[in-house]
Structure 1
Amino acid sequence: MDFILMLKAAFLGIVEGLTEFLPISSTGHLILAQAGFDGLFPATATQPSHEFWSGFEVAIQFGAIIAVMWEFRSRIGGVLTGMAKREAISWRFAVNVVIATIPAVVLALAFGDVIKEYLFNPVAVAIALIVGGFIIIAAERRQAAIAPTVTDMDDLSYIDALKVGLAQTLAVVFPGTSRSGATIIGGMFFGLSRQTATNFSFFLAIPILFGAFVKGLYDMRELLNAQAWVLFAIGFVFSLVSAFICVRWLLKFVSNNNFIGFAWYRIIFGVLILVLAQWLG
């Protein structure tokens, strides 16, 4: 096994784990990270195809899923137990997750390939990063001026869930928007507190990322071999560990901080990408 390939798998796993749940776009960072890595370490004869790495980026999200499920294992267990006991509050929460998931799934299945072909590039990512940064600033200003009306996930209505789900579709259409950013900031615009929107975003990640993981493996089934499984294993482990650290940190962060810092990070990073694209282009 080529050491450079293993290094690339580990590197992309770390990038996925650290960025999946922050409002800075994991997809955008993975696109840029892969472009940068390939620039430093040109492809060799043993390098898997571009199609493999595209699928790899989706498949390693499984590590991030496991990290979230472990962190929220008590809540997940409580919901499942409540559903078995026919508790209305548990069923409402589960239905809310389904309602919020459907719009993004439908859009991805209908237009995912077209979007990936035309918008998965550094310039499109940079524009989405910049625009998203200003939207985060607007959301934070709104929440500072208007007190949130929903401060607990159990208080979410079906309409609230649908609104957050529609906001999540922006991440499908515009890579670089950030799935977590779209759900968290969308939720804040729709009256959810910052902490409630963040927690709900974690739960929405489970079906979305698991579905993407299964589809990614299916799409690249003809490319799977011993080398592929080793690279997946490396990416999975590094994604799992880095995502677990990130989830723990973010839960503490949102209890006492806002997302303005992430907004300026997105804007500065996006501008830098545009400058580099123009300079190198």
Structure 2
Amino acid sequence: MPILLLVIILGIVEGVTEYLPVSSTGHLILATELLGFKAGDWELFNVAIQPGAILAIVVLYWRTFWTVITGLFSVEAGALVFTRNVLVAFFPAVVLGLALGDYIDLLLENAVVVAWALIIGGIAILIVERFAKPVHVGGVANVSLKQSVAVGLVQCLAMIPGVSRSGATILGAMSFGVDRRTAAEFSFFLAVPTLAGATTLQLFKHRDQITSDQIGYIGLGAFVSFIVAVVVVKAFMAIVTRFGFGPFAWYRIIAGAAALIWLGMR
């Protein structure tokens, strides 16, 4: 397969899966393996194209970001609490990411771990959907400090490929009483510093290995992921509002089982 086509396919996969509770990293690893390439060789690319997905959230929620930024300058309570919640939830991932970076890199090459994480995560979604009793919070600025800390701790589970960063944060928020829509939006906003930090760290660690060709591929992959993510996030919010997260849970279970079967037959 031509490298350019693979770059476009991976950009589409990133854009589709980054904000769904299905694990973008897991899907990128499985897609790379399925198309006949080694996941470890594309580890940097898969992380480096995430700014495209980040930009999608900035564009879709630009009014929210603008309100928060201007609110910080005028010291408005809502803007201060919004920022506090996002930073508090982001902090645990920073600590563990720096401490366990080398171990995380090893897991990024293991497709079997991804498959099992998809299945287990799907079951977890069904359990939370069945037993969680979230109440309407009304936005990220209304989430409590305790809930924000809990979301940040749960997000750390997503360092295992296949767990899903968005899935972990959304389920974590719902488990601690946050309604579906606010949980999803909290996951979107938390993605901005989390993905930006992960991308910056990977690019810095591998700065000596990046060629001009790779920069071009990363730029194309990020652009494709941006376009796709804009469409997917809008559709995702409509699906969640109407059907909840159950459809994504069953997809994870089926996809994980299929991946295990395929990996076993290779």
Whether the TM-score (by the shorter chain) exceeds 0.5 is: yes
Matched, 1:110 2:99: yes
The 1-side partners of 2:116 and 2:109 are apart by 12
Matches within 5 A, 1:64-103: 64-103=53-92
SS in 2 for 1:167: helix
- Show the counterpart of 1:254: 240
Match of 2:16 in 1: 18
Q: Residue type of the partner of 1:150?
A: V
Taking the aligned partners of 2:214 and 2:236, their CA distance within structure 1 comes to 32
2-structure distance, mates of 1:253, 1:123: 29
Query: What secondary structure sits across from 1:177 in the alignment?
Result: coil
Displacement of 1:221: 1.3
Letter in 2 for 1:96: N
Question: 1:119: Cα distance to partner?
Answer: 6.0
What's the CA shift for 1:254?
Answer: 2.0
Q: Distance in 2 between matches of 1:235 and 1:118?
A: 22
The residue that corresponds to 2:223 in the other structure is 237
Tell me if the contact between 1:14 and 1:238 (Cα under 8 Å) persists in the aligned partners: yes
Kindly provide the amino acid, as one letter, of the partner of residue 145 in structure 2. Answer: Y
**TM-score normalised per structure 1:** 0.90
Question: Residue 14 and residue 123 in structure 1: after superposition, are their counterparts in 2 closer, same or farther (change >3 A)?
Answer: same
1:165 aligns with 2:163: no
Instruction: In structure 2, list runs of 5 or more residues that go unmatched.
Output: none
Distance (whole Å) between structure 1 residues aligned to residue 102 and residue 126 of structure 2: 31
**Equivalent residue for 2:202?**
216
Asked whether 1:269 is paired with 2:234, we answer: no
CA distance in 2, matches of 1:118, 1:233: 25
Q: Any residues of structure 2 matched to 1:82-231 within 5 Å, and which?
A: 82-118=71-107, 120-143=109-132, 146-148=133-135, 150-172=137-159, 174-231=160-217
The offset of 1:112, in angstroms, is 2.0
Q: What CA distance in whole angstroms lies between the structure 2 residues aligned with 1:88 and 1:147?
A: 24
Instruction: Give the Å deviation of 1:35.
Output: 0.8
TM-score scaled by length of structure 2:
0.95
SS in 2 for 1:254: helix
Q: Which has the larger radius of gyration?
A: 1
* 2: CA distance, partners of 1:217 / 1:118: 18
1:187, CA displacement in angstroms?
0.8
Match of 2:43? Answer: 54
Number of residues of Structure 1 aligned to a counterpart in Structure 2: 266
- Tell me what 1:46 maps to: none
Structure 2 residue aligned with 1:31:
29
Cα displacement (A) at 1:50: 4.7
Q: What is the letter of the counterpart of residue 30 of structure 1?
A: L
Structure 1 CA distance, aligned partners of 2:175 and 2:40? Answer: 38
RMSD of the TM alignment (CA)? Answer: 1.7
Please give the alpha-carbon distance, in whole angstroms, between the structure 2 residues aligned to 1:214 and 1:251. 28
CA displacement at 1:89 relative to structure 2 = 1.5
Letter in 2 for 1:127: W
Separation in 1, partners of 2:250, 2:233: 21
Q: How far did 1:123 drift?
A: 1.0
Helix, strand or coil: the match of 1:68?
Answer: helix
Distance in 2 of aligned mates of 1:254 and 1:155: 20
